[in-house]
Structure 1
Amino acid sequence: MPEIFVVRHGQASFGSDNYDQLSELGWRQARWLGEHFAEDGATFDRILCGDLRRHRETATGICEGLGLTADSLEVSPQLNEFDFLRVMQAYGERDPQSVPAKKSERADYYRFLKKAMHAWANNEIVGAESWAEFEQRVEGALGLIGNQPKGRKTLVISSGGAIAMMVRQILGAPAHTVTELNMQIKNTAVSRFFAGRSGIGLHSFNHVPHLESRERQEFITYS
């Protein structure tokens, strides 16, 4: 049956003027993952990514590690992350006292995002797209990546929220699962799926085999 490897992008540039680009570590994470695939003898019949810069750069880094060019890369906006900045802005407008101060710890930022996502899922705030639209978009992405001939392997690069929504839809889990999983997914983590007659099934979730050695564990990141 078709096998699908879904990868979250490498570390982005948190705190910079442009989050949507890989940090130097993000590039290294992507190349290391490509090298790991190459060492395992993994080959992919299809490589897809969202059209955000961090998606494209991660795909390019993985291809470099695999010794490939990114010429055959397919790009689909259906694999994009939700607009988390707009979701947080909307929640901050509703509850200004909850907005983290400019020099807050990163953990404060994530707690705020978690509250904002819960409010968004409950239709208490309006993002750039509604929660229902986000669900429908990711459902379409699953159809795009799951419709493959038998035996083919597909590599997909996306973002934490979109990947969490994929897992939630496949498992039939409640909406709050997306928020909980989104906070756990590591940069360049791999989740594996199989597509069969009954749909797509989850095989494994959130693994970073290329970062688990003692020398690289310090390079495991979440943003």
Structure 2
Amino acid sequence: MPEILVVRHGQASFGSENYDRLSELGWQQARWLGEYWAGEGQRFDRIVSGDLQRHRETALGICEGLGLEDRAVEELPQLNEFDFKRVMGAYGEKNPQAAPQQGAVRADYYRFLKMAMHAWSSGEIDGAESWQQFEQRIEEVLGVLSAGVKGGRTLVVSSGGAIAMMVRQILGAPSHSVTQLNMQIKNTAVTHFFAGRSGVSLHSFNHVPHLDNRLRREFITYS
């Protein structure tokens, strides 16, 4: 039965001019995951990522940890994150009093993003793509991934919102669950799916076996 292991990218550069690149910790998180899998004897028949910089760098870091520096990574833009800046900007234009002020703490931005995602999913605001278009491309890419390697194992690197939408669709959960799930997903966390004749099923969600120990728990991040 085909397995799909979907990894959220490593810690990005929150607060910098280019959020889309990994921080030094983000690189290390990715390498640690690859090293963990190498120690467990894990192998992958296919490696796929979105085409955002943080996706490419995370895939590269994992491959370095696995000892696969020359391994080719297939890019599928359908795995990219929704344009959260556009969604937040649209919500801020409609609700300027809710927008975080300069110097606000990270938690204020997360609360604002949560409100903006709810407004986007309910059709109150427009993003770069509609909520329905976001749902459709994630549904399509799940089909591509599940059909990719018969009986093999596929490693996927994506983003929190896209992974949350995958889980929502597979479980048949309501739309608002995407926002709740998205806020929980850790950097380089692994969500494990199986693909069978009856469709894709969820095996585990949001695991960080490479970080969940007393020496590394302080390096668990969410941005």
Please classify the TM superposition score into its range, dividing by the shorter chain length: over 0.9
The Cα RMSD (Å) is: 0.7
Q: Distance in 2 between matches of 1:154 and 1:121?
A: 30
Cα deviation 1:56-102 (Å, max 9, x = unaligned): 00000000000002541100100000000000000000000000001
TM-superposed CA distance for 1:148, in Å, is 3.3
Cα deviation 1:8-62 (Å, max 9, x = unaligned): 0000000000000000000000000000010000000000000000000000000
Which position in structure 1 is the counterpart of 2:150? 150
What pairs with 1:1-223 in structure 2 (closer than 5 Å)? 1-223=1-223
| 4+ residue runs over 4 A deviation | none
TM-superposed CA distance for 1:150, in Å, is 3.5
Q: Distance in 2 between matches of 1:71 and 1:214?
A: 32
Q: Distance in 2 between matches of 1:179 and 1:86?
A: 16
Shift of the 70–190 alpha-carbon distance from structure 1 to 2, 3 Å rule, reads farther
Contact preservation (8 Å) 1:10, 1:58: yes
Contact preservation (8 Å) 2:45, 2:149: no
Contact preservation (8 Å) 1:59, 1:70: no
Shift of the 119–59 alpha-carbon distance from structure 1 to 2, 3 Å rule, reads same
Q: Where does structure 2 lack aligned partners over 5 or more consecutive residues?
A: none
Q: Which AA in structure 2 matches 1:106? A: R
Q: Distance in 2 between matches of 1:109 and 1:69?
A: 36
Contact preservation (8 Å) 2:5, 2:191: yes
Q: Distance in 2 between matches of 1:187 and 1:95?
A: 30
Q: Distance in 2 between matches of 1:28 and 1:92?
A: 34
TM-score by structure 2 length?
Answer: 0.99
Identity score, percent? 72
Q: Which AA in structure 1 matches 2:91? A: Y
Shift of the 13–191 alpha-carbon distance from structure 1 to 2, 3 Å rule, reads same
Contact preservation (8 Å) 1:49, 1:158: yes
Equivalenced residues, count: 223
TM-score by structure 1 length?
Answer: 0.99
Shift of the 81–70 alpha-carbon distance from structure 1 to 2, 3 Å rule, reads farther
Q: Where does structure 1 lack aligned partners over 5 or more consecutive residues?
A: none
Q: Distance in 2 between matches of 1:81 and 1:43?
A: 26
Contact preservation (8 Å) 1:60, 1:70: no
Q: Which AA in structure 2 matches 1:167? A: V
TM-superposed CA distance for 1:151, in Å, is 2.2
